[in-house]
Amino acid sequence: MPNNKTNPFLISANCFGPNPTIQNPSTSYTVLADDDIIVCGANSLAITLTATSNSPVIVTSIDGTTQRTSCTVVVGSQDFVIADSGCTALCVRMGPASANQWQVIGAKTAS
């Protein structure tokens, strides 16, 4: 169910539901249409958001008890670092999917 003005609650997405789709890639990864949570399974991973990625999606650099380093969320040519002190990002699409515009909440830095 989409999150919009008539359905604004993130809980309607499966990120916080009982059966989220969790990916734990060990190589850089592009978020798919049904992914809910992405766990960086190695250091220096780029997690890419595209126009067809699910929204919202959670990206975390905590792999179990291990803090991964240099993990980034990539939107177009912009990188958002989530490792080190900012360990989790909530990524929410802004506007139509075709625009591929995202709000990345919780990132440490953006470049």
Domain count, the chain: 1
56, part of any domain = yes
Q: What pLDDT digit, counting tens, does each position of 57-108 carry? A: 999 998 888 889 899 999 999 999 987 666 889 999 888 889 999 999 988 8
59, part of any domain = yes
36, part of any domain = yes
82, part of any domain = yes
DSSP string, 5-71: TTB--GGGSGGGSSS--EE--SS-EE--TT--EEE--STT-EEEE-TTS-SSEEEESEETTEE--S-
111, part of any domain = no
| High-pLDDT (> 70) share of the chain, % | 86
14, 71, 99 from 18: Cα distances, Å = 7, 26, 30
What's the mean pLDDT in 43-61?
Answer: 94
Give the residue numbers spanning the domain of 61: 10-104
74, part of any domain = yes
Q: In terms of Cα–Cα distance, which of 58, 61, 66 is closest to 104?
A: 58
19, part of any domain = yes
- Report how far Cα 56 is from the mean position of its chain's Cα atoms: 7
